[in-house]
Amino acid sequence: MNRVIEQILNHRSIRTFKDEPLTDEQIHIMVESAQRASTSSHYQAYSIIGVTDPSIKEEIAGLSGHAHVKNSGHFFVFCADLNRLAYGADPETKTKMNANLENTEHFLVAAIDAALAAQNASLAAESMGLGICYIGGIRTDIKRVDELLNLPEFVIPLFGLAVGYPDHKPELKPRLPMEAIYFENTYRPDEQAYHRALERFDETLQEYYAKRSTNQRQDNWSTQIQRKLSKPVRMEVTEYIQSKGMNKR
């Protein structure tokens, strides 16, 4: 196993950081790594905002429910950005382009571009001895995050990335058995094997939650998910995104 794969397989999300900010060089390497990711049609349809202002960090920590946003060594917000694509276009061209900028295809392009970039930045950070945690929680009040960062039309915050020197080492969290997520040529060729794999995973998670070093509980994968998704979650995201011009046709 080479160094890159070793790094990838060693990932755990870090939620407690030492009180030490990232250096400019570390930030620079993370952004440069993000930018080297593949990008649809060379659009590079994302922007990255580094949040260093303590009052903004604190407010985002509060609204997302994650104290490690505030205590991170650097906090990034990855944004889907289709705004830049109309740079320099005359009004007539802009009107034509809007049919695309407003559709689901290009919303998807921007979200995927941003996520590929973020994963490169994350691995670069981890390879420098830093820990990371994605913060989807910024979407709990996505409109407020938008206001805090002054985002224009066609730009929306997708997720945060808290980065810093790890101050704990959690266990590796189990992943689904490969039979439950990887198939050849057709989706779920063997239903029984699929269901057995999910059952096995529930048992694995039950054991993981019962035995892990902190926050032990009685739970498994499917029960936890059903509980989470049985009440409406972030229903306002839809309208907010459309209000920014995206995903509306």
Segment lying near a copy of itself (by CB under 8 A), choices 15-23, 65-73, 163-171, 217-225: 217-225
Q: With binding defined as CB under 8 A, does residue 179 bind a copy of itself? A: no
Query: C-beta of 33: minimal distance to a copy of itself in Å?
Result: 5
Among 19, 185, 192, 215, contact with a copy of itself (rule: CB under 8 A)? 185
Window 119-148: residues binding a copy of itself (CB under 8 A):
119-120, 122-124, 126-128, 132-134, 136, 139
Residue 227 CB neighbour total at 10 angstroms:
10
Element (H, E) at 128: none
Binding mask 44-83 for a copy of itself (x = CB under 8 A): x-xxxxxxxx--x----------------------x-x--
| Phi, then psi, of 22 in degrees rounded to 5 | -70, 150
Among 63, 69, 138, 155, contact with a copy of itself (rule: CB under 8 A)? 155
CA distances from residue 121 to 43, 58, 139, 148, 215 in whole angstroms, order as listed: 18, 23, 20, 23, 29
CA distances from residue 155 to 38, 85, 142 in whole angstroms, order as listed: 20, 11, 12
Burial class (CB in 10 A: 0-12, 13-18, 19+), 179: middle
Q: With binding defined as CB under 8 A, does residue 149 bind a copy of itself? A: yes
Query: C-beta of 169: minimal distance to a copy of itself in Å?
Result: 16
The residue count for binding a copy of itself (CB under 8 A) is 111
Q: Which residue has the tokens 């559709």?
A: 103
Q: With binding defined as CB under 8 A, does residue 23 bind a copy of itself? A: no
Query: C-beta of 234: minimal distance to a copy of itself in Å?
Result: 4
- Please, what's the b/e burial string for 112-127 (b: 16 or more CB within 10 A of its CB; e: otherwise)? bbbbbbbbbbbbbbbe
Segment lying near a copy of itself (by CB under 8 A), choices 15-23, 26-34, 61-69, 210-218: 26-34
Nearest alpha carbon to residue 116 among 221, 38, 211, 202? 38
Residue with smaller CB distance to a copy of itself, 19 or 88: 88
